[in-house]
Amino acid sequence: MVNLESEITYLPGVGPKRAKVLGDELGIKTFADLLMTFPYKYIDRSKVYRIAEVNTEMPYVQILGKILSFETFEMGPRKERVVAHFTDGHHLMDLTWFNGGRYARTHYKIGKEYVVFGKPTVYNGRINVVHPDMDPADDIQLTGMGMQPYYSLTEKMKKAGFTPRSIERLVRNLCDLLKEPIPETLPETMTSRLHLASRDEALRNIHFPQSAKDLEKARVRLKFEELFYVQLNIVRYVSDNRRKFRGYLFPRIGEKFNGFYYNNLPFPLTGAQKRVVREIWNDMKSGRQMNRLLQGDVGSGKTLVALMSMLIAIDNGFQACIMAPTEILAEQHLQTIQAFLNDMPIRVELLTGIVKGKRRKQVLEELASGQIDILVGTHAVIEDTVQFLHLGMVVVDEQHRFGVAQRAKLWSKSANPPHVLVMTATPIPRTLAMTLYGDLDVSVIDELPPGRKPVQTQHVFDAQLPQLYESIRRQIRMGRQAYIVFPLIEESERIDLKSLEDGYESLKQIFPEFKMSKVHGKIKPKEKEEEMQRFASGETQILVATTVIEVGVNVPNASVMVILDAQRFGLSQLHQLRGRVGRGADQSYCILVTCPQLSADTRKRIDIMCDTNDGFKIAEADLKLRGPGDLEGTQQSGMAFDLKIADIARDGQLVQLAREEAQTVIDADPLLHSDENAVFLRRLYELRKTNVNWSAIS
Ligand code: ADP
Ligand code: MG
């Protein structure tokens, strides 16, 4: 008996050799694997044309007819062109082979009926198809042939003799072989309520749709199913945790918070900041563990919100910790927090890689004994042997390097899991957040502090650099500071470093009257810190840098951001860099410098940057341009992001629907114990190899 788990070698047409290629190249080992290898496009082959109807505007045509004769033309040493004269019984056309002509001559028979398929051109005044697809007419039922699937092939597969047609034949064999309906993975009540195709129908139709409508129905069903199980996994994980763990209860707003709020706050909170602090406090006094994602554009004032949340923890007798992705940022947080707290009796300490020896030992002891209230560190803090007396609140800054698995590690640091606030300045479109960070509640700071002027963004070409340098000079003379950013991309790191060094030297010639700092990924942390410090204190006027300044750096007096070779940066990187300016009261500028020849995608990126400062718009555009697989952090996010058919960028509504359905299922039956829901458990179990096992993480 064959079934979906059968090895692919049991399929007619697949011997050991082809099985190996399929396995190595596409990971196809079983019938199910082949069935789940979806076509990447379809061509409508329902229409058969007469030669008289064909014109060269048509992208492809299908013609039924016979070969009358072959002709061979020498085209230089060992090169020939083979032409077959072909007729539909009324008119003549040519089929041409520049390669494989010999094969065509011997393989295709004169006088036999073929279906010819390809792109029509005109040569010598006659319709011509170069390298046509040829099928014997009796192999193909022309009526109702519908849409023909096309499958991706790797180079190795092509060498091994696979064509899109041969895969198609294999899938057809498979569908014929599977007499029983393909097992359902969603309950009938759900498929009928949502008007979804059955799994059997969808999987057969995704390969061999009879019409565009069938295809669409199959797609919707398979996309929904895929997204639904991702969401079910997440929603179940959240629900399990809520049941297993209690959150620390922080019912009090005490003297630390109030003292800070009434005496130390240098400016009123924005409305959005107030709302988010309230959302956070509501979590903290709910008895449930907080897992919250705080999204706020660069400069929206997330640090302050984080600090105030930590003060609530301290008021309730707990310690708090804030983690940054780099040492520079950790130190900057330390300074910011110390400056905000000023002389309040709150102990804040730093713990990063550069805190060593005796000093480190002391910090660790004071943490364990509860003398330190706020620990500022890098993400390494959780990897370390760091023990708190009672850690109640953790803030993670710039989450995209900090996945579910890492977050879960925090939980071993105290009896109950601490409240977690994950902050990001990289706005994530809602539907992506729902999937990547689906276990987090979301707060958004959608308002910048008052008085900020939106950064003006301009695009200039390399040739305009001299004028650009003049305007930088004017800005600096007015007391401002400027960033000049060189790209540094890993593969070409050494070349880039050289271009940074060269660039730095020539900038010194261009601006002999100013002082410059220089930072990049290759200098020692201490040196980097000193250079940044020199710039932050205003001792230097220009900071020449690579993208190490991307996140978090805060120098309000800097009003010019020049990004050289901007075509080499992604949208979110450009947006992050731009966020370094516009932090003070002055008008700031971001100048994107590129070469004159730009690809269409680059052009779009640059245009979007010039058009909007809205991080969410930029994130949406980025998702559309790049697709979620490329988004920074999707790999590290801790979630195997292996969607076969759904596309989070385009299928936002289905993501939303899948989430709601999953939530409804879990709300009604959290453990999926009912008979009706057994199908979900079975499927989750099958999928645990490909999906991250959320429950194993906790
Ligand atoms: P983010 O981390 O969200 O990018 P920061 O927390 O670094 O932003 O804040 C950016 C700047 O705005 C800081 O200099 C901060 O002191 C200031 N700031 C924060 N909140 C306010 C506010 N409500 N009013 C005025 N300035 C603010
Ligand atoms: Mg920040």
Q: Whose CA is nearest to atom 13 of ligand 1?
A: 301
The confidence band for 82, taking pLDDT boundaries of 50, 70 and 90, is very high
Pick the residue whose CA is nearest to atom 23 on ligand 1: 269
Is 493's pLDDT higher than 90? Answer: no
Q: CB of 301 closer than 6 A to ligand 1?
A: yes
Q: Is 578's pLDDT higher than 80? A: yes
303 lines ligand 1 (CB under 6 A): yes
pLDDT above 90 for 440: no
Out of 186-195, 620-629, 647-656, give the one with best mean pLDDT: 186-195
Phi, psi of 589 (to 5 degrees): -130, 145
Distance CA 399, CA 68 (A): 68
- Cα separation of 62 and 129, whole Å? 10
CA of 566 to the centre of ligand 2 (A): 23
Does residue 640 carry a pLDDT above 60?
Answer: no
pLDDT of residue 5: 87
Nearest-angstrom CA–CA distance, 230 and 654: 12
- Angle of CA points 430, 431, 435, to nearest 5°: 115
CB 71 within 8 A of CB 130: no
User: What is the reported pLDDT for 490?
Assistant: 56
Mutate which of 267, 273, 308 to test ligand 1's pocket (most atoms within 8 Å of Cβ)? 267
548: pLDDT strictly greater than 80: no
Instruction: Report the atom number in ligand 1 closest to the C-alpha of 445.
Output: 3
Q: For 186-193, what is the mean pLDDT?
A: 95
What number is the average pLDDT over the span 74-78?
83
Closest CA to 131 of 140, 123, 120, 142: 120
| CA–CA gap between residue 208 and residue 210 (Å, rounded) | 6
The mean of the pLDDT values for the chain is 87
Burial class (CB in 10 A: 0-12, 13-18, 19+), 142: middle
pLDDT reported for residue 697: 37
Mean pLDDT, residues 391-409 taken together: 74
More confident residue, 682 or 244: 682
Q: Does residue 300's CB lie within 6 angstroms of at least one atom of ligand 1?
A: yes
**pLDDT band (50, 70, 90) for residue 633:** very low
Tokens of 491: 């593969």
Q: Token pair of 302, please?
A: 């997330």
Q: What is the pLDDT of residues 272-330, one digit of tens each?
A: 999 999 999 999 999 899 989 998 887 789 999 999 999 999 999 999 999 988 777 88
Q: Are 134 and 110 in contact (CB under 8 A)?
A: no
Mean pLDDT, range 257-272, rounded to an integer: 95
Ligand 1 pocket, residue 302 CB under 6 Å:
yes
For residue 522, CA distances in Å to 56, 114, 498, 519, 548 come to 57, 64, 12, 8, 10
Is the pLDDT at 627 greater than 70, yes or no?
no
Cβ(391) – ligand 1 distance below 6 Å: no
Q: How far is the CA of 449 from the centre of ligand 1 (A)?
A: 7
C-alpha span between 119 and 4 (Å, rounded): 37
User: Does residue 268 contact residue 304 with C-beta atoms inside 8 Å?
Assistant: no
Q: Which of 410, 413, 402, 446 is nearest to 427 (CA)?
A: 446
Over range 42-66, report the average pLDDT.
88
Residue 631 reports pLDDT greater than 50: no
Q: Say which range, 414-423, 434-443, 461-470, 663-672, has the weakest mean pLDDT.
A: 434-443
In Å, what is the CA distance from 659 to each residue of 187, 189, 669, 688? Answer: 16, 17, 15, 19
pTM over 0.75: no
Percent of the chain with pLDDT over 70: 90
pLDDT, mean of residues 116-142:
85
Give Dmax (Cα) for the chain.
97
Give the rounded percent of residues in the chain with a pLDDT score beyond 90.
54
For residues 265 and 242, give the distance between their C-alpha atoms in angstroms, rounded to a whole number: 35
Any ligand 1 atom below 6 A from CB of 2: no
What pLDDT sits at residue 236? 92
**Residue 512 is encoded by which pair of tokens?**
């002999």
What is the mean pLDDT of the segment spanning 383-399?
A: 84
As a whole number of angstroms, the distance between CA 178 and CA 170 comes to 12
| For range 450-468, the mean pLDDT | 92
The pLDDT of residue 425 is 78
Ligand 1 centroid – CA 554 distance (Å): 9
What whole-number distance in Å separates Cα of residue 419 and Cα of residue 247?
7
155 Cα to the center of ligand 2, angstroms? 46
CATH code, 47-143: 2.40.50.140
DSSP string, 14-25: --HHHHHHHHHH
Confidence band for 692, pLDDT divided at 50, 70 and 90: very low
Least confident of 143-147, 356-360, 493-497, 532-536: 143-147
User: What's the gap in Å between 619 CA and the centre of ligand 2?
Assistant: 18
Spell out the domain ranges in the chain.
47-143, 255-445, 456-612
The pLDDT of residue 133 is above 70: yes
Which pLDDT belongs to residue 637?
Answer: 39
Region 419-433: mean pLDDT is: 81
47-143 with 255-445: one CATH topology? Answer: no
Amino acid at 395: V
Report the separation in Å between the CA atom of 396 and the middle of ligand 2, taken as the mean of its atom positions.
10
pLDDT at 491 over 60: no
Task: Report which of residues 62 and 592 the model is more confident about.
Answer: 592
C-alpha span between 174 and 9 (Å, rounded) = 11
CATH architecture of residue range(s) 255-445:
3-Layer(aba) Sandwich (3.40)
| pLDDT value of residue 404 | 62
> 386 falls in which pLDDT band (50, 70, 90)?
confident
Indicate whether residue 267 lines ligand 1 (CB < 6 A): yes
Give yes or no for residue 443 CB within 6 A of ligand 1.
Answer: no
Domain 456-612 CATH (choose: 3.40.50.300, 3.40.190.10, 3.90.870.30, 3.90.870.10): 3.40.50.300
